[in-house]
A and B are shown apart, each in its own frame.
Chain A
Amino acid sequence: MIVSPRRVRWVATLLGLLLPISVLLAISVGSSGWIWPWQADETLQRIVLELRLPRAIAALIVGSLLATAGCLMQVLLRNPLADPYILGLSGGASVFALAGMTLGISWLPIPLLAFIGALFTTWLVFVLARGDGAWTSARVLLTGVVLASGWGALISLILATGDDASLRGMLFWLMGDLSHAQASSLWLLPTGLVLILIWLRSRSLNVLSAGALQAELLGEPTRLRFWEIFVAASLLTGVAVAMAGAIGFVGLIVPHLMRLLVGSDHRRLLPAAAAFGASFLLVADTLARTLLSPRQLPVGVLTALIGVPLFLILLRRARGIR
Chain B
Amino acid sequence: MSAPVLSLQDLTISIGTTRVVESLQMTLFPGQTLGVLGPNGIGKTTLLKTIAGLRSPDRGAIKLLDRTLGSWPRKLLAQRLGLLLQHTQYAFEASCEEIALIGRHPHLGPLARESEADRRRARAALDEVGLGAFSQRSCFNLSGGESRRLALASLLVQDPQLLLLDEPTNHLDPAHQISVLDLVFKRVAEEGRAAVMALHDANLAACYCSHVLLLFGGGEWALGPSGDLLNEAQLSRLYGCNIRCVKDGEQSVFAVGRNRGGFA
Give residues in A with beta carbon < 8 Å to B: 1-3, 74, 78-80, 200-201, 203-204, 206-207, 209-211, 213-214, 216-221, 259, 263-265, 267, 319-320
Contacts and interface: CB of A to CB of B under 8 A. Distances in A.
Contact of B103 (A1, A79, A218): A218
Interface in B102-129: 102-103, 105-106, 108, 110-111, 113
Given A200-B110, A220-B74, A213 B92 contact: no
B92 A216 contact: no
B52 interface: yes
Given A217-B83, A218-B105, A320 B78 contact: no
Contact of B54 (A204, A213, A264): A213
A265 B98 contact: yes
Given A203-B105, A207-B105, A221-B74, A216 B54 contact: yes
A1 B138 contact: yes
Interface residues of B, number: 34
A259 B92 CA distance: 9
Contacts, number: 83
Nearest to B141: A319
Contacts of A319: 93, 140
A264 B93 contact: yes
Given A213-B54, A219-B75, A320 B105 contact: no
A interface majority secondary structure: loop
B103 A265 contact: no
Contacts of B78: 217-219
Contacts of B255: none
B123 to A, nearest CB: 14
Given A1-B138, A219-B78, A219-B79, A214 B88 contact: yes
B110 to A, nearest CB: 7
A206 B77 contact: no
A2 B138 contact: yes
12 contacts: A2-B95, A2-B138, A211-B88, A214-B88, A216-B74, A217-B78, A217-B82, A217-B85, A218-B105, A219-B77, A219-B106, A320-B93
Given A213-B54, A213-B85, A320-B140, A218 B102 contact: yes
Contacts of A264: 92-94, 98
A264 B158 CA distance: 20
A259 B85 contact: no
A219 B94 contact: no
The 6 closest A-B pairs by CB, nearest first: A219-B78, A264-B92, A78-B91, A219-B106, A219-B75, A218-B105
Given A214-B85, A216-B54, 17 more contacts: A2-B138, A3-B95, A78-B91, A79-B91, A200-B110, A206-B102, A209-B91, A210-B88, A210-B102, A217-B78, A218-B78, A218-B103, A219-B78, A259-B92, A263-B93, A320-B91, A320-B140
